[in-house]
Structure 1
């Protein structure tokens, strides 16, 4: 297992090299400038679309704008926001938060383009049902000769959509917060039992398809965001005297990397810190990875730009809000310097520090909702990938593989699980970003036509 762990770590480091950083971050920055900051200029309109002002039950698609965003957010607002941010700060210090924010701002433009394409170029699966996602906008937008690139995305998505990191950190949280303090002996058996319970809960929802998934997460997402927001607000109020100091330290440390303890990149520790922040940001908001377009591609709309505008809200909610809350909670309580804990255990230490007795249990509730909602959405992504590769009539086989992987995530190490998903996320980003950059002019043309019609209607 140690050799396998080392091999997966080397694989993740290799694929997250300079070429991918340029493609993902440089490509996103290009899209932001190329669109002349369009996502930010039409933020108000995107909120109107999200609230359902333009919903039409007769439009093509399966779910409304809100449920599409909820489904996408239920996968992105997960353990990446709690454990992933903790990993970033444990390795990189406060400065890692700044580069997380950069990835979110760039990611808003990336999400606008990728999710507009997901509706512009929806394809039909082998059963004739309308589908969206990178594999479809590659083959429908660029042509069948690009099928190999679409298949590459789908193969990588079969592993990238596995819930192993979320399950791993939920298991660790249950052990650290609930079982160990109450004298329950920990080990492989207890982890396996937790895994089987999660398998049972997940199976009830995921075998019901996108309708049941979207209805479930549509209820869970607002609850989990509100609960987590108020929990961290308590921590910040308790430690209000040091909030300005640590907020400022995020900006200064981003360029000095005084607390960075990871590998250097391009000969410098600041470069290593940037890669760490972008990598954790990509895991958190998944901008440019290609998962969200599979959810937003199912939206009920005939205006692709509307779905792009709704999708761009994802990184703002996911990274600029939720990740910032986690990061500030860890920083102001000083647990990142006073404990050796990592991942979800570090976040738990922050909650315990400021909210004695109840803090850990409050966090456990948040973690459970975050993780379980992610389990539902990722299964949908995996089935879409398998459906594209071997046919929609066989997509249900992925769910059996998916629930078995829950047991793997519950019984293996954090480093192995996070590097495995990191590596395959990187592979998924390659076809997603290449195809998006090629078709970016088409998206901008579609956007100009849409806003022109919108302005005419408002006159």
Structure 2
């Protein structure tokens, strides 16, 4: 296990260097400026699209705008918002949250472009069904000479979709919140039992395909966000006097980096390491620029690419600017963030336990639904990647690999799993961002055309 940890740590460190930081954040800023912030002015319109005001059942696609966003959010509003934030703060201190905010704001623009492209350049799989995602907009938008980028995304996409972090943290939550406090000895066999239960439950949904996944996600995501929101608000209200202090600390520490380990400098100093750490955890939270969200948004029923881009832009607002911030504040105001030797979901559980009666059990409910909904969405992402590589008639084989990975994840250390996923996500971002930057002028042209058409009576409803 030590060798595995060392290998995955080296893999993550190799992937997350200065070039990737420039590509993700620099590329996102370029897209933000290139669009002249226009998409941000249409957030109200995006909400109307999400509500179904412009839905047309005759449009090409498989699922509604709401179901597409729910499917995308069910993969991002998960352990990235509970375990990822806790890990960000326990390692990097409060300032890490500020750089997660930066990644979310820049990520809104990135998601607009990538998800607009997912509809603008939909392709067909080997069964002739319309599909969207980075591999398809690379092939349809850039041409066959760029197929190597599409293949690169699909290969790493299959690995990145494996549920190793979600399952690992769900297992840890069950152990730390339910089993250990009740005197149950945690062993390999208990972890294996948890994995097998998840295998059965997950198999029932993912083997039913996208429509069953989106149906579950559209029901689970809104309710679990509301429950989690209420619980954290109660914690913040009880500790209201501490909230301004820690909001200020998030901002000041973002540039002071007082709590980041001094032995891990990047770009010549600790501040650079904190920025990289926050951006990395932000990418894990909202997945902007990685290419997973366009896989879900590319299946939306619409003939207007810009509409889906605007809907996708709401994702980082919900999962990082709102949910992650609430988690961070709950961890900070309760003081548990300074607890030694505790991170991930266990740190968040400690915050809930300190303030709420049976708070850890209420969090367990949220963790379960967050994790399970993520399992459904990632399985869909992986099958799409495999479908592109070896044909739609063979994509179901991925589900069996996916199910076996649940067992691996439940019996492997958290550090190894998070490093593996960090590294794979980085290699997914490379083809996604390169293609998006190259195709950005076509998105701008489509955006201007859509705004003009929006002003006509045909689109005023």
Unaligned runs of 5+ in 1: none
Q: Does 1:394 align with 2:394?
A: yes
Separation in 1 of the partners of 2:13 and 2:114? 25
**Displacement, 1:416?**
0.3
Separation in 1 of the partners of 2:85 and 2:235? 17
Would the aligned equivalents of 1:39 and 1:108 in 2 still touch at CA under 8 Å?
A: no
Report what 1:251 is aligned to: 251
Can you list the C-alpha shifts for 1:93-134, whole angstroms capped at 9, x where unaligned?
000000000000000000000000000000000000000000
Unaligned runs of 5+ in 2: none
Report what 2:51 is aligned to: 51
Would the aligned equivalents of 1:100 and 1:278 in 2 still touch at CA under 8 Å?
A: yes
**Displacement, 1:440?**
0.2
Report what 2:430 is aligned to: 430
Q: Does 1:137 align with 2:120?
A: no
**Displacement, 1:338?**
3.3
Q: Does 1:283 align with 2:284?
A: yes
Report what 1:340 is aligned to: 341
TM-score by length of 2: 0.98
CA RMSD, Structure 1 to Structure 2 (Å)? 0.9
**Displacement, 1:36?**
1.0
Separation in 2 of the partners of 1:143 and 1:265? 37
**Displacement, 1:355?**
1.0
Provide the secondary structure at the position in 1 that maps to 2:9: helix
Report what 1:195 is aligned to: 195
Can you list the C-alpha shifts for 1:119-157, whole angstroms capped at 9, x where unaligned?
000000000000000000000000111111100000001
Report what 2:269 is aligned to: 268
Separation in 2 of the partners of 1:94 and 1:181? 29
Separation in 2 of the partners of 1:305 and 1:266? 37
**Displacement, 1:40?**
1.4
Separation in 2 of the partners of 1:178 and 1:165? 19
Provide the secondary structure at the position in 2 that maps to 1:70: helix
Question: How many residue pairs get matched?
Answer: 458
Separation in 2 of the partners of 1:328 and 1:280? 16
**Displacement, 1:194?**
0.2
Provide the secondary structure at the position in 2 that maps to 1:442: helix
Report what 2:67 is aligned to: 67
Q: Which runs of 4+ in 1 moved over 2 A?
A: 456-459
Q: Does 1:330 align with 2:331?
A: yes
Provide the secondary structure at the position in 2 that maps to 1:260: coil
Report what 1:90 is aligned to: 90
Separation in 2 of the partners of 1:328 and 1:403? 35
TM-score by length of 1: 0.99
Would the aligned equivalents of 1:112 and 1:312 in 2 still touch at CA under 8 Å?
A: yes
Provide the secondary structure at the position in 2 that maps to 1:32: helix
Can you list the C-alpha shifts for 1:9-55, whole angstroms capped at 9, x where unaligned?
01101110000000001000111111111231110000000000000
Provide the secondary structure at the position in 1 that maps to 2:184: coil
**Displacement, 1:456?**
2.2
Can you list the C-alpha shifts for 1:265-324, whole angstroms capped at 9, x where unaligned?
111101000000000000100000000000000000000000000000000000001100
